[in-house]
Structure formats: structure tokens, C-alpha cells
Amino acid sequence: MEELFKTIEGLNEEIIEIRRHLHKHPELSFEEVETPKFIASFHEKLGHEVKTGVGGNGVVAYLKGSHDGPTVALRADFDALPIQEETELDFKSVNDGVMHACGHDGHTATLLGVAKALNKHKDELHGTVVFIHQHAEELPPGGARPMIEDGALEGVDVIFGTHLQAQMPLYEINYRTDALQASSDSFEVTILGRGGHGAYPQDTKDSILIASQLVSNFQQIVSRRVNPLQSAVLSVCSFEAIGPYNVIANTAKIKGTVRTLNEETRALMEEEMLRVIEGTCHLSGADFEFNYERGYPVLINHEDETNFLVDVAKTVPEVKEINETEPIMGGEDYSYYLQEVKGTYFFTGAQVEGSEEPYPHHHPKFDIDERALGVAAKILAKTTVEYMNKNK
């Protein structure tokens, strides 16, 4: 395994170069054109079998080892965000209003580095590696499900993946053997009141007042209807009612998100929201429209595969700390893969050295420490080889 690590170390500069190229040329979810071409070309030059247009803009590449064994999938996402970059990086985005502000450029560079390293050791591989390069993670319904439906997991026995974390110390690894990330649902409520003159509120059904009461009433769902031992988040993130200063708006619209860590609580939240909306509007005689969209499901890691990866991570020299983390309420469509096959998803620390308060993900000044790419590459590569050796 020492030789594999040396191979990856020898590729570090190339991995960073790839990350910087991708960072400079980001593409939005479902609009990726040049990025999948770049990824496919890289694999083709290595002699890998490549499928493009998988589930939309996805790319899947295959490396068959010289010996029989299990099929291990590794996944990285490659879409960017609609954010205007405000960093001073030499390789900052040249695409106006589009930025890699979540580390997907690093994920892709890492996986391509792993592909090249494992290719150099293919004579020692007992099985097949499937490199899943996924589009559109940032925008539900996401790219994972259509890629799965298009055969990305066909024949796969296990899947591994990582997310670079800019607010987590470099050389630290976080994992969890159960629910790691929350389901991510969205909702929109339109209050259909009756507008009128601001001087004569008695003649109206004030949509703004009703929507304001609804925002407040929603908060009682988590505090009074959800089991305190379960986690749930209900956030109203948008409130819109348009009109001049002296007109009570005819309609008001609120939008937001719901996050939970199990399907029972998820169903309860949707049911209770409808009940609260009906009650609030009934008291005021207003009508409503309620649209609840289920997004990504809860990301639940498999225990044995998680523990296996953790044991491998302990052997990577650069890794200084490994922690079992609490769940986070952010969503991730990697969850769909784990509903189909066994596997795990973990976090790799990528905090920029010297930044006491690093910019968070999805911030216009977001950045990562590129040394994290090599750490992630070593863990993914060695996990792949060790899993093959154990199950050959």
C-alpha cells in the first residue's frame, strides 16, 4: 500500500491543477457541458471504458483490474452554484455569476487522481472500479437518481464517497455509522386573501397578517408536535407580498425548507404543516394553496462499510484525527446511492491554514486547502484496494 500512496503523492500537483482548471470554469446544475467532456477525456486517455450522458450530464468510467473480485463504486459531484465569486484566487471563476463554492471541483479532481493512481496499479486490482461523476447535486431533483435509473450502479457491490469540509480542520476525518445528513424538502404556501384599501382593513382578508401568523404558528410544530428526541428544522426563508404602501395585498406567499433525520418525522412535518395552514386560514376566512416537495432523502451510512473505511483512514499518515460526528441538517443526494447498495459517505477536513473563521460553503469567498485533496484520494484509493482484497 506504500507504493499506492507514493503514486498519489506523485500526482498531487496534477490533482491540484485539475481542481484549479475546474474552479476557473464552473458550470451550473443541469447545464454542465464542458465539465463532463473534460472528465470523459481524462478517463479515455487512461484507457477506461466511458459512458457519457448518463442520467443527463453524468459520466461513468470503468477500470477493470487484472483479477476477479467485487465492483467498487466511487462518486464525485461536479456542478457549481449561481454565486458571483469574490475571492482573489489566480484561478477564480471566469464565468460570471457561477462559482464552485462547495468543493465539487475538489471532489472531481480527487476522483480523477484516484482513477489515475489505481490505473497504474491495475495489475494488482481484484475487481472493477466504477467512477461515478455526478452532475446536478446542488439542485433538486438532482443527478443521482436519474444516473441510478440509467444504470450507474449496475453490478456495484459497494460505494464510497467524501465531501471536503472547509470549516473542518485539515487532516481531520469525520464519519457516522447511521444517519449523517438530513432529508431536504421544500414548501410554498400562498395565502389567497382579499385585498383592499389600507384605511379600511375591515373590508379585507389581510393576506400579510394571515401569512405572518402562519410563520409563527409553524414554529409550534417542531416545539410541540415533534418528539424532542428527534430532530427537525422548519425554516421560512422567503416572504413575498407585493403592493403600494396603502393597499393591503390580495395574496402573500411564503417559501421555506424542512429537514428531518427519519421518514416518520418527515411525514409528520408535512401532515402538521397542512393542519396548521388549514386552521390558520379558517380563522380568517382565507383560502390557500400548499405545495410540499420532497427533496433528497436522509443519508444513512451502512455500519460495516463505515467502520471498514475508518480503519483504512487510520493508516493514512496525514490523518491526525478521526471523529464520529453528529448528524448535520444539510441534504445530499448521495443518499439515493446508499438506498440501493451498501456504502458510506464521510467528511474530509479542508480548512485553509491560518483561517480562524473560514468562509462557509456557498459563500462567495469560499475556499479550501488543496492538501485535503491528496488526503481524500489516499483514503478512497486504499479503501477500494483493501475492500477488493478482503472480498476477492
pLDDT in tens, 65-111: 999 999 999 999 999 999 999 999 999 999 999 999 999 999 999 99
pLDDT tens-place string over residues 109-160: 999 999 999 999 999 999 999 999 999 999 999 999 999 999 999 999 999 9
The model's pTM is: 0.94
- Calpha distance 34→37 (Å, rounded): 5
267 sits in which H/E element:
helix 263-284
- Calpha distance 367→372 (Å, rounded): 12
- Calpha distance 239→215 (Å, rounded): 9
Options 3.30.70.360, 1.10.357.10, 3.40.640.10, 3.20.20.60; which CATH number does 183-296 get? 3.30.70.360
Report CA-CA distances (Å) from 170 to 15, 194, 244, 369: 17, 56, 52, 7
pLDDT of residue 105: 98
* Bridge partner list, 165: 349
Closest residue by Cα to residue 15 from 175, 164, 165? 164
Q: Which residues contact 223 (CB under 8 A, 6 or more apart)?
A: none
* Contact status, residue 328 vs residue 145, Cβ threshold 8 Å: no
Does the annotation list 104 as a binding residue? yes
Fold for the domain defined by 2-181+298-391: Aminopeptidase (3.40.630)
Q: Indicate whether 238 pLDDT > 80.
A: yes
pLDDT tens-place string over residues 180-201: 999 999 999 999 999 999 999 9
- Calpha distance 315→14 (Å, rounded): 24
Does the annotation list 163 as a binding residue? yes
pLDDT of residue 374: 98
Q: Give the β-pairing of 179-181 and 172-175.
A: unpaired
One DSSP character per residue, 184-216 reads EEEEEEEEE-B-EETT-GGGSB-HHHHHHHHHH
Residue 17 in grid coordinates: 491543477
- Calpha distance 373→12 (Å, rounded): 8
* Contact status, residue 216 vs residue 183, Cβ threshold 8 Å: no
- List active site positions: 79, 137
A 10 A CB-CB count for 309 gives 26
A 10 A CB-CB count for 188 gives 14
Does the annotation list 43 as a binding residue? no
Q: Taking residues 15-33, what's their average pLDDT?
A: 98
The three state secondary structure string of 97-119 is CCECCCCHHHHHHHHHHHHHHHH
In the chain, CATH 3.40.630.10 covers 2-181+298-391
Phi/psi at 284 (5° precision): -105, 0
Residue 295 in grid coordinates: 427533496
Does the annotation list 263 as a binding residue? no
pLDDT tens-place string over residues 316-373: 999 999 999 999 999 999 999 999 999 999 999 999 988 888 999 999 999 999 999 9
% of the chain surpassing 70 pLDDT = 100
Report CA-CA distances (Å) from 72 to 3, 43, 176, 343, 349: 20, 17, 20, 9, 24
Does the annotation list 362 as a binding residue? yes
**CA 163, 164, 168, 169: dihedral to nearest 10 degrees?**
130
